[in-house]
Amino acid sequence: MSHDLNPTTIGIGLLGCGTVGGSLVELLDARHDEIQRRTGIDLRIVRVAVRDTSTPRPGVASELLVDDPRAAIDHVDVDLVVETMGGIDGTLELVDAALGAGKPVVTANKALLAAHGPRLHEAAARGGVDLALEASVAAGIPLIRPLRESLVGEDISRVMGILNGTTNYILSQMTEHGAGYADALADAQALGYAEADPTADVGGHDAAAKAAIIATLAFGASVTSSDVHTEGITTITSEDIALAGRLGYAIKLLGIVERGADGRVAARVHPAMVPETHPLATVRDSFNAVFVEGAGVDQLMFYGRGAGGHPTAAMVLGDVIDAAINLRSGTARSVGPLPPADIRPIDELSSAYYVSLDARDEPGVLAAIAQVFGERGVSIRSMEQEGLGDQARLVFITHQATESDLQATLEDLRGLDAVKNIGQMLRVIEA
Ligand code: NAP
Ligand code: HSE
């Protein structure tokens, strides 16, 4: 059936016209007629808020540009707001205002959602409109809708994946092409993968925000960025990558959220050693992949582009269409109450670990080091030694141990006179 006759016009106020907003304008222009034919909705951009209105924006008439985001929310012809400008503090008030005015909001802003998700979901429920966030996690992968809808009845135990395109791109470039960290990061920025402040990517905070959103939806309890143990990739060197490769592992930045039998939620983002035979080890470039484990579904895997204007805009557009259809029919989908999750601290994590250190190459040193591991109850699974003149680089992989025991081991090792430097500690993912 064609909907071309008497379409419903939905006016869009677009906040931000950079990598994602600009790609949305392009995509909407290309897909407008087909969307109208399939849904009966005529999507029109009414106002576009940017910082600098003097910069030409391809596909946007200059009279639509405003530098006050409120003007793009409050305009009488704006029915729905798309937030692709980023930021937390000022943006919170803007999104709140739009929802309060009964205008659905589509956002790609994980930092905002991970800090203030419950407040915004409540505002959407009060306003009786949608707060749609598909693009906020893993960019071009449809993951939020499966979590909110298809899996809402599922007993999910764990979600684990590569949640940041920039860092996966950097690690892939370093692993496969021997690229330097700084050059790979500059490429990721030029390709539109990185956040406005790329320390959010390389420091693990962007992935932590996504992990918080995933945990909130998967477990139906509020998890914020500050609940997520967060480590980035800034300490990973080309040497670590080469050493990991020799041992049969790839280094990946992972986000892992779990709910234990006691109901407590553990959420963490850190680089990890992933066996080369594990599907996550083969996820390259800006791609992301997410595993969901549940009692009924067993295992699901989602894979796709984790960053970039067009993949992200595709998810924003899907949300816009969905929210517009709901607006036309006077319905909305809310996520329900989100009590704070009971968080399990990282100290209680049980994992295998990789530890590299430099020590004096003398009789008795290895025995002293092994004794420290043993005294802390950390069992060594394998050890490799490489000579470095009068020193040796020792690389250990442990059996499962608790994080607190491993950290205590590292502390004791630092106190040994023969140990010159603790190089790297990484959690090891089992095959
Ligand atoms: P971006 O390229 O820096 O674009 C931001 C846009 O917002 C720019 O047009 C900027 O105006 C405008 N803007 C910022 N602050 C403003 C203010 N106070 N008033 C008016 N306009 C303002 O950023 P982006 O990469 O598109 O990211 C936007 C959002 O999408 C962020 O929340 C990000 O986390 C999220 N996201 C990004 C990606 C990605 O791959 N890039 C993927 C998923 C989600 P000017 O152009 O005048 O500076
Ligand atoms: N900077 C983010 C990333 C964009 O690299 O994954 C997608 O959320």
What's the predicted TM-score (pTM) here?
0.96
> 155 and 301, same structural domain?
yes
pLDDT value of position 115: 97
For 246-264, give one letter per residue: b (16+ CB within 10 A) or e: eeebbbbbbbbbbbeeeee
pLDDT value of position 388: 76
Length of the chain in residues, anyone? 431
> 154 and 290, same structural domain?
yes
Question: Does any ligand 1 atom lie closer than 6 A to the CB of residue 50?
Answer: yes
> 57 and 122, same structural domain?
yes
CATH of the domain at 112: 3.40.50.720
CATH of the domain at 385: 3.30.70.260
Answer yes or no: is 417 within a domain: yes
Catalytic residue, from 103, 210, 252, 420: name it. Answer: 210
> 41 and 182, same structural domain?
no
Question: Does any ligand 1 atom lie closer than 6 A to the CB of residue 52?
Answer: yes
Answer yes or no: is 94 within a domain: yes
Query: 242: which residues sit within 8 A by CB, 6+ positions away?
Result: none
210 tagged catalytic? yes
What is the chain's pLDDT, residue by residue, as a tens digit (431 residues)? 455 567 899 999 999 999 999 999 999 999 999 999 999 999 999 999 999 999 999 999 999 999 999 999 999 999 999 999 999 999 999 999 999 999 999 999 999 999 999 999 999 999 999 999 999 999 999 999 999 999 999 999 999 999 999 999 999 999 999 999 999 999 999 999 999 999 999 999 999 999 999 999 999 999 999 999 999 999 999 999 999 999 999 999 999 999 999 999 999 999 999 999 999 999 999 999 999 999 999 999 999 999 999 999 999 999 999 999 999 999 999 888 899 999 999 999 999 999 999 999 999 999 999 999 999 999 999 999 988 788 999 999 999 999 999 999 999 999 999 999 999 999 999 87
Answer yes or no: is 206 within a domain: yes
Answer yes or no: is 341 within a domain: no
255 DSSP 8-state letter: E
Radius of gyration of the chain from its Cα atoms, rounded to whole angstroms: 24
CA of 151 to the centre of ligand 1 (A): 30
Chain-centre distance for alpha carbon 26 = 25
Query: 411: which residues sit within 8 A by CB, 6+ positions away?
Result: none
> 124 and 160, same structural domain?
no
> 282 and 167, same structural domain?
yes
CA of 37 to the centre of ligand 2 (A): 32
Closest-lying ligand 1 atom to the alpha carbon of residue 307: 40
Answer yes or no: is 337 within a domain: no
pLDDT value of position 6: 79
Mutate to test the pocket of ligand 2, among 134, 137, 164 (most ligand atoms within 8 A of CB): 164
Rounded-to-integer distance, Cα 431 and Cα 251, Å: 14
Answer yes or no: is 351 within a domain: yes
> 293 and 169, same structural domain?
yes
pLDDT value of position 300: 97
Q: Which ligand is nearest to the CA of 164?
A: 2
Closest-lying ligand 1 atom to the alpha carbon of residue 15: 21
Indicate which residue's Cα is closest to atom 1 of ligand 2.
194
> 79 and 218, same structural domain?
no
93 class by beta-carbon count within 10 Å (0-12 exposed, 13-18 middle, 19+ buried): exposed
> 116 and 187, same structural domain?
no
**Helices 181-190 and 165-177: angle between axes, nearest 10 degrees:** 130
> 209 and 262, same structural domain?
yes
> 263 and 133, same structural domain?
no
Q: Which of 132, 129, 103, 128 lies closest to 117 in space, CA to CA?
A: 132
User: What are the residues facing 351 on neighbouring strands?
Assistant: 401
Q: State the amino acid at position 337 in one-letter form.
A: P
Answer yes or no: is 127 within a domain: yes
CA of 165 to the centre of ligand 2 (A): 5
CATH of the domain at 218: 3.30.360.10
Answer yes or no: is 3 within a domain: no
Mutate to test the pocket of ligand 1, among 50, 67, 105, 107 (most ligand atoms within 8 A of CB): 50
Q: Which of 283, 273, 271 lies closest to 176 in space, CA to CA?
A: 283
Mutate to test the pocket of ligand 1, among 85, 93, 225 (most ligand atoms within 8 A of CB): 85
Indicate which residue's Cα is closest to atom 25 of ligand 1.
19
Range of the domain at 359: 346-428
Indicate which residue's Cα is closest to atom 34 of ligand 1.
109
> For the chain, what is the domain count?
3
> 293 and 252, same structural domain?
yes
pLDDT value of position 312: 98
pLDDT value of position 3: 57
